[in-house]
Amino acid sequence: MKKLKKLDDNDLDEIADFLYDEVFKFINSNVPSKGLKDININFEISFEENDNLLDLKTDLSADFDKLSEPDSNILSKACDNALELLDLYLDEHFRE
């Protein structure tokens, strides 16, 4: 696997935006539009240049309408899906 290039703050913001979009798309595709009352998606991303590691912390919460009854693991599944897609995204945009 190729190494990550040196990531700056703009790169980290772009990665966070990508993850946010993917989590939001996943939830919207699995919950009726009126079923999502509120969502909070935060990613804290840092890059350790010496170890060439991307450190990612997530904080996801959502409030759903009682009638929508989403899968109880929807947030976890959305995050897992976004992280799977992240590898491809990093390959395309941030690997040397």
CA angle 24, 27, 29 (to 5 degrees): 105
pLDDT of residue 88: 93
* Per-domain boundaries in the chain: 9-93
At residue 39, the 3 state secondary structure works out as strand
Average pLDDT over residues 34-52: 88
Average pLDDT over residues 55-65: 88
- Whole-prediction pTM value? 0.86
Average pLDDT over residues 24-43: 87
Question: In the CATH scheme, what is the homologous superfamily, with its name and number, of domain 9-93?
Answer: MTH677-like (3.30.300.100)
Q: For residue 69, is pLDDT > 70?
A: no
Q: Of 20 and 31, which is predicted with more confidence?
A: 20
Q: For residue 47, is pLDDT > 80?
A: yes
Q: What is the dihedral of CA 51, 56, 57, 59, to 10 degrees?
A: 170
pLDDT of residue 57: 93
* Token couple for 36: 């999502």
**Percentage of residues of the chain with pLDDT beyond 70:** 98
